[in-house]
Amino acid sequence: MQQSNPIPDGTTEQSTSEGSPYAANDDARVKSMLDEIGVADVEELFDIPESIRFEGEFGIDDATEQEVKREVGETLSKNADIVEFLGRGYYSHYVPSLVDHLSLRSEFITSYTQYQPEISQGFLQVLFEYQSIVSELTGMDIANCSMYDAATSLGEAVTLAHRVRDASGSEVLIPDYVREEHVEVVKNYTQGVDIEVKRLQTPDGMIDPETLEQTLNDETLLVYVENPTAEGVIEEHLTDVGELLAERETLFCVGSDLVALSLLQDPGEVGADVVVGNGAVLGLPKSYGMNMGIFACRDDFLRQIPGRLVGSSEDTDGNRAYTLTLQTREQHIRRERATSNICSNQAWVALRAAIHAVSLGPEGLVSLADQCAEFPEQLAEKIDSIEGVSAPVHDAYHFRDFKAELDTDATEVASELSEKGFAVHDLDEQTIQISVTEQNQHMTTEFATALAEVME
């Protein structure tokens, strides 16, 4: 046992030298319990051979709650205090306080998967309502309770395609605007199946139906299209893509997010088979990339969908009651023949997204989404007037993000902007990407001024 240190904060808070502050039994009770068990010392309960017993120390100091909070707060404050104009699939919208307060109710956050539905009705109803909201926004028949993130959802969509399509196809078409990181995840998710990822060129920032038609062949298993794209372009040829694929044994997968879906074309209406994307644009801020994957599809794939599903049923009194359902698809029953290996998912983020969606309501969602379409246009116009800046690069409608072309080195510009307190993406030699939402819109004038200074 180490010495108890004097507590610098002058509080009476215990250090952990007496043990874990989150273990309930004190020494006296442990002693009485050991008597009941019939051993003299705790260590006798560890049936570990001497040769591999760990006799060392981790060398991790304990600390009071107050100290940990202060130290972590100080460390995190080493993140530069800059205004982010960063997007490319990762966004913050204002999360109402209500979301924090309700989602942190400990009955929700300290529960686990609803293996005993009779005492888990609350969370099951939340997830059922979440599935309903996702179905509505994606225009799909069914939605699951969540995947880890947008990238792993896309990976799961590809393995779904492999399961449900009879065609011997092995080619997956992913446009060049999709984040490279997400494509890498797809490649890792499909190691167990014979898949080849092919990148589709999109010089205009969106699908060119003619190029797609020429690229499609009998081997094409799935075509992925983002709306908006990671570069912020609103796709104008969804209907054409849907029509092209309707005739074929090729799955049509749309990537989007819950805010964009509130305004942009309904994937169900354009013939999408699967919809994936980032669900945590509602419920969570950017969170260093942590998010939640939505996964929705046509009901033809009901028994092939990955992840958990909540269904409505009845209890023995005849009242409506909810339960996890169709579990024979899942790893704990089907093992190596499961539709996915997923067990823990992002249920609590789904809860937060649902509360956020309901807080906004349909009016609020549509108007938030409309701002996402309006703000980039305004900002692009503003910076296009700066000498040496041309924006937006693509002649298209945009959502949150747009690219700007510079007559000078993008990395240098991004770095100088950073010194002035603004972060943007530098994409290639002379292109930067800028993202604007209601969270940073109030700083656009300062941003444009800074960019103008940097470009001088």
Residues 65-84 binding another protein (CB under 8 A) are 65, 68-69, 71-73, 75-80, 82, 84
Q: Does 152 bind another protein (CB under 8 A)?
A: yes
Size of interface with another protein, in residues (CB under 8 A): 194
Q: Calculate ∠ Cα 228-301-242, nearest 5°.
A: 40
- Applying CB under 8 A, the span of 161-169, 176-184, 197-205, 214-222 interacting with another protein comes to 176-184
Other residues' Cβ atoms within 10 Å of the Cβ of residue 150: 29
CA distance 206 to 208: 6
Residue 339 · residue 144 · CB < 8 Å: no
CA distance 305 to 172: 18
Smaller CB separation from another protein, 139 or 388:
139
Question: Using CB under 8 A, which of 145, 173, 383, 432 touches another protein?
Answer: 145
- Applying CB under 8 A, the span of 200-208, 350-358, 384-392, 447-455 interacting with another protein comes to 350-358
Quick one: DSSP state of residue 329? Answer: G
For another protein, the binding residues in 199-238 under the rule CB under 8 A are 234, 236
Q: Does 304 bind another protein (CB under 8 A)?
A: no
Q: Which residue has the tokens 């068990």?
A: 37
Site string for another protein, 391-410 (x = CB under 8 A): ------x-------------
Amino acid at 172: V
For another protein, the binding residues in 414-443 under the rule CB under 8 A are 414-415, 418, 423, 425
How near is the Cβ of 396 to another protein at its closest, in Å?
Answer: 10
Smaller CB separation from another protein, 75 or 214:
75
Q: Does 196 bind another protein (CB under 8 A)?
A: no
Question: Using CB under 8 A, which of 5, 168, 217, 312 touches another protein?
Answer: 312
Smaller CB separation from another protein, 54 or 442:
54
Question: Using CB under 8 A, which of 6, 166, 247, 337 touches another protein?
Answer: 337
Q: Calculate ∠ Cα 301-150-345, nearest 5°.
A: 75
How near is the Cβ of 153 to another protein at its closest, in Å?
Answer: 9
Q: Does 160 bind another protein (CB under 8 A)?
A: no
How near is the Cβ of 387 to another protein at its closest, in Å?
Answer: 26
The residues facing 147 across adjacent strands are 293
Smaller CB separation from another protein, 157 or 216:
157
Looking only at the bridges linking them, the beta strands covering 171-175 and 320-324 are: unpaired
Token output for 146: 């969540």
CA atoms in the 13 A half-sphere facing the CB of 327? 10
Q: Does 246 bind another protein (CB under 8 A)?
A: no
Residue 276 · residue 81 · CB < 8 Å: no
Q: Does 128 bind another protein (CB under 8 A)?
A: yes
How near is the Cβ of 352 to another protein at its closest, in Å?
Answer: 9
How near is the Cβ of 50 to another protein at its closest, in Å?
Answer: 11
Cβ within 8 Å of residue 170, ≥6 positions away? 194, 195, 196, 219, 221
- The closest alpha carbon to 307, from 287, 290, 325, belongs to 325
Q: Does 287 bind another protein (CB under 8 A)?
A: yes
Q: Does 94 bind another protein (CB under 8 A)?
A: no
Residue 129 · residue 372 · CB < 8 Å: no
Q: Does 118 bind another protein (CB under 8 A)?
A: yes
Q: Does 138 bind another protein (CB under 8 A)?
A: no
Question: Using CB under 8 A, which of 10, 116, 203, 387 touches another protein?
Answer: 116
Q: Does 161 bind another protein (CB under 8 A)?
A: no
CA distance 96 to 92: 12
Smaller CB separation from another protein, 191 or 214:
191
Question: Using CB under 8 A, which of 11, 188, 385, 445 touches another protein?
Answer: 188
CA distance 261 to 365: 9
Give the Å distances, CA to CA, from 241 to 45, 252, 265, 316, 340.
64, 8, 13, 48, 28
- Applying CB under 8 A, the span of 48-56, 211-219, 243-251, 381-389 interacting with another protein comes to 48-56
Token output for 424: 């943007």
For another protein, the binding residues in 254-273 under the rule CB under 8 A are 262-266, 269
- The closest alpha carbon to 311, from 454, 149, 125, belongs to 125
Question: Using CB under 8 A, which of 93, 131, 232, 281 touches another protein?
Answer: 131
Structural element, H or E, at residue 83: strand 83-84
Helix (H, G, I), strand (E, B) or coil at 380: helix
CA distance 21 to 241: 58
Structural element, H or E, at residue 276: strand 274-278
